[in-house]
A = this chain, B = another copy of it.
């Protein structure tokens, strides 16, 4: 009996046979997440139903020295839940209970498999909702949102997942169960919530999540502004922010993205638009009314040639339908595509978009741009046809060059999709060795054996040794030979 077979047998004994999948055909269900071109079949998948089952699984992995990867709904776009071929995939999708909803405290407690939108639906009757809204909110899990620190269109005003989590129950990589934070804001001691949210499964598995609930706004108003080009749309975005207005969302789509959305869902955006902005304001009626007029004025001044104002929820939904379907919609105009995710300072939008155009031309590929313009979070879609020799490589080159552009302009290699397996290679372009060493201190503290989602986030596996070979101020880097960290 190999180590993996022994581990599977132990898991069956402790959790029940129906919780442990080892059949290779069944395991194919879990071979990838939303980063669909990257596939690895795990050795074992465990369908956990409780904290105790997650803890038993992780403890068994620790004792057998087998790596483990946690997975929620599997909608992540960076391969953060990509399985390990010789490891255990801990699936938390069936941990779907909402454990507590306390409108008076503005908190809810959920299991990690609870679907993002399910929590909003459950709290709407009490006048609340869960603010972080990834485009996949109908299917993505809150546990996955915690792992990737997910954002969404409305994070411009409301912040990312990390701004909405106040407490966690976590199974650490040794199988122990720990509570971080709670219902209160700002507890004493180290803020490990901040470090855990977005750690992509490398510090352990969240088994219970305490989140803030947000009051439903009194009013929501949405407009769609059409421009001849992205320069004007970018200028309008900057003007709105500079005026001190904080919209709930400012979303931009360029001509190619609009073409794809029209082909897919007939969203009826103004004909001939080189770019559209969707601007949404929410809050107290008096504030929204005053600011909405200002946004309309600023769009006009930035040369919007048509401004549509949503008359009702149906029209508002139509505005958003084009935007939310944009990723899938490019399938209508291109056989294959790469979704990129990067961040730049808002003020650099027009310049970076011009350089992306130039990169696309240079590499002979097309790039559709869809993005959270308000916070400078780009989602370029690099279109290609895998059947044409060399196109996939040229698309990959273009996509990578866009990330280099983001770094060049002082931005970031990911806005909300995470690093995962996909972008680990870019980390050294953004961070120096000392920065990465410092992060590694935390990883090694929680996971000295390196079994929690290895190969994700950090490009080079390092051993957790006594002390890292860190440079001190004034010293010259001297790193020849193998570094044991």
Binding site for B on A (CB under 8 A): 51-52, 55-56, 59, 104-105, 149, 151, 160, 162, 171-172, 174-180, 182-195, 197-199, 203, 215, 218, 244, 283-287, 289-291, 343, 345, 347, 375, 410-416, 418-419, 423, 427, 430-432, 434-439, 441-446, 448, 457, 467, 470-474
Contact = CB atoms under 8 A, between A and B. Distances in A.
Contacts of A470: 172, 174, 176
A345 B105 contact: yes
A17 B276 CA distance: 64
A107 to B, nearest CB: 10
Nearest to A415: B186
A324 to B, nearest CB: 22
Contacts of A347: 104-105
A423 B189 CA distance: 11
B418 A188 contact: yes
A437 B289 CA distance: 51
Contact of A284 (B160, B195, B290, B474): B290
26 contacts: A55-B474, A151-B186, A175-B472, A177-B472, A177-B473, A178-B437, A183-B345, A186-B412, A186-B416, A188-B418, A188-B423, A188-B430, A190-B439, A190-B443, A191-B195, A191-B197, A194-B195, A195-B442, A284-B287, A284-B290, A284-B291, A285-B290, A286-B286, A286-B287, A441-B445, A444-B445
A54 to B, nearest CB: 9
Nearest to A344: B184
A203 to B, nearest CB: 8
Contacts of A289: 286
Contact of A56 (B193, B410, B443, B473): B473
Nearest to A78: B188
Q: Top 4 closest A-B pairs, CB basis?
A: A194-B194, A287-B287, A55-B473, A286-B290
A162 B188 CA distance: 13
